[in-house]
Amino acid sequence: MKLKVQAPLDAGFAPMELIFREYARDVETCGKQVPIAVNVERNQGYCDYLAMDIFAEDTEAERTKEIVERSVKTLLWCRGGWKITVAGSRMIYEMLRDAYRPGGARAFDADFMSGVYEKPFTVAWSDDIDALKVRRNGASAVGRHLEGCRIGFDAGGSDRKVSAVIDGEAVYSEEVVWHPKLQSDPEYHYQGILDAMKTAASHMPRVDAIGVSSAGVYVDNRIMVASLFLKVPKDLFEKRVKSMYLDVAKELGKDIPIEVANDGDVTALAGAMELEKGNVLGIAMGTSEAGGYVDEQMRLMGWLTELAFVPVDGCRSAMVDEWSGDYGCGVKYFSQDAVIKLAPAAGIPLDESLSPAEKLKVVQQAMKEGHAGAKKIFETIGVYFGYAIAWYARFYEIDHVLIMGRVTSGEGGPILLEKTKAVLDAEFPELAARIALHIPDENSRRVGQSVAAASLPEA
């Protein structure tokens, strides 16, 4: 596979979009195509599907299994779901059934989705391909409420940000370093969140509403799954964590409206509010990769959009994510982990005693000092991102891409985006003509999500 734009520090990078296109071309010319359909169902009967032609089962079976498995996994983490139904190929059905069973290659994914949708994860067979080619989506107009006195809170993995917002203007913002992923006692998280909100409240005459932007999955403002609470035991998660944001709101005052949303969705919402346009994919590159999407009518779709677990690199020797146990996923390409991963190849030593956020600061300082390797790190992430956008565009209607987060702070962000544009121009001109890339100013990149979060609830 030949890339038109090479990743300076990752010669083995194999973009999923190019792998998919190469497979599709080969299938089209082989003369022995077999159609398949895979439907992924989530809450309330909402669903989406993947339909494609594959080689007949006696031809390149392993290659077919791999491309279909990677594609289905992508659809699953873009939309969310508790049930996969397959038609057209028993080989594909059996492969996915085995992958998503307990102990299988995708057992983490199945367990995660079961926790989100509170149903056993299922892989089923259907004899009717056409019956699976159906999409049902729920969309809601959330956010863009700025009247009154509001708290916006953004819970990151290495720092928490809070803003006091009065009639759409941030009158106070702060960032506080914390380490929620290392803490097993949920009181650490509770007190950190409560302290931040009390600080913001002290800068306003009253609190009319609270909006929260936080990594993870939320249903009815309850925390279903969130990496911030990675070390908290399951029994304490159920008792103390699931309703944590609701409990904090009660401490601040009786009947204060609160709305909790995934931080990626808030990124997309922030972009849509600034641009006054829809079809926005928002990406926050911080402790992990957070993704969110706003449709043409500037609505949130209720999709999972957990892009940290979406495969973007088909190289089997790519770095494995410790949490999911899978290779080539976005968390290692668009986060602090990506910077840390590339630092040795860039000639930048990092003290292992430092936290990930501190390691990122070392690289960003080297960037300020003109270190050539530091620049190559952000160029490499930009190349990753250009090819990833093309892959994401198979699953989202994208007119605008907005990037935020600590990784994009400083001089690295513009360099990253410049390389992303170079990839789109050279490799995917049809997408380059349609998709506009955006990066907010420095202040918005750091605290913009907490301000946008303040607009989530109706007062």
Q: How many CB atoms lie within 10 A of CB 156?
A: 26
Give per-residue burial for 201-223: e unless 16+ CB within 10 Å, then b: bebbeebbbbbbbbbbbbeebeb
The enclosing H or E element of 30 equals helix 16-30
Phi, psi dihedrals of residue 125, rounded to the nearest 5°? -110, 145
CA nearest 68: which of 78, 79, 80, 55?
Answer: 55
Residue 164: helix, strand or coil by DSSP? strand
Q: What contacts 24+ positions apart, CB below 8 Å, involve 296-300?
A: 296/397, 297/139, 297/141, 298/141, 298/144, 298/269, 298/272, 299/139, 299/140, 299/141, 299/142, 300/139, 300/140, 300/141, 300/142, 300/143, 300/261, 300/265, 300/268, 300/269
- The span from the CA of 181 to the CA of 277, in Å, is 35
Among positive and negative, which fits the CA dihedral 117, 239, 233, 102?
A: negative
Among positive and negative, which fits the CA dihedral 260, 261, 266, 268?
A: negative
CA nearest 299: which of 274, 328, 278?
Answer: 278
CA nearest 373: which of 401, 413, 346, 343?
Answer: 346
Instruction: Tell me the domains of the chain and their CATH numbers.
Output: 31-132 (no CATH), 149-264 (3.30.420.40), 266-454 (3.30.420.40)
Phi, psi dihedrals of residue 244, rounded to the nearest 5°? -60, -45
Q: What is the residue-wise DSSP string for 222-248?
A: EEEE-GGGTTS-HHHIIIIITTHHHHH
Q: Please tell me the pTM assigned to this model.
A: 0.87
The residue whose two tokens read 């969309």 is 139
What angle is formed at CA 253 by the lines to CA 248 and CA 255, rounded to 5 degrees?
A: 95
Taking only the tens of pLDDT, the chain with its 459 residues reads 899 999 999 999 999 999 999 999 999 999 889 999 999 999 899 999 999 999 998 899 999 999 999 999 999 999 999 999 999 999 999 999 999 999 999 999 999 999 899 899 999 999 999 999 999 998 777 778 889 999 999 898 888 999 999 998 899 999 999 999 899 999 999 999 999 999 999 999 999 999 998 878 888 898 998 889 989 999 999 999 999 999 999 999 989 999 998 888 888 888 888 888 999 999 989 888 989 999 998 888 889 999 999 999 999 999 999 989 999 999 999 999 999 999 999 999 999 999 998 999 999 999 999 999 999 999 999 999 999 999 999 999 999 999 888 899 889 999 999 999 999 999 999 999 999 999 877 555 555 667 788 999 887
Q: How many residues does the chain have?
A: 459
Half-sphere exposure of 92 (CA within 13 A, CB side): 32
Q: How many CB atoms lie within 10 A of CB 52?
A: 19
CA nearest 312: which of 295, 289, 293, 294?
Answer: 289
8 A C-beta contact, residue 339 and residue 360: yes
- Beta bridge partners, 259, equal 211
- The span from the CA of 139 to the CA of 431, in Å, is 25
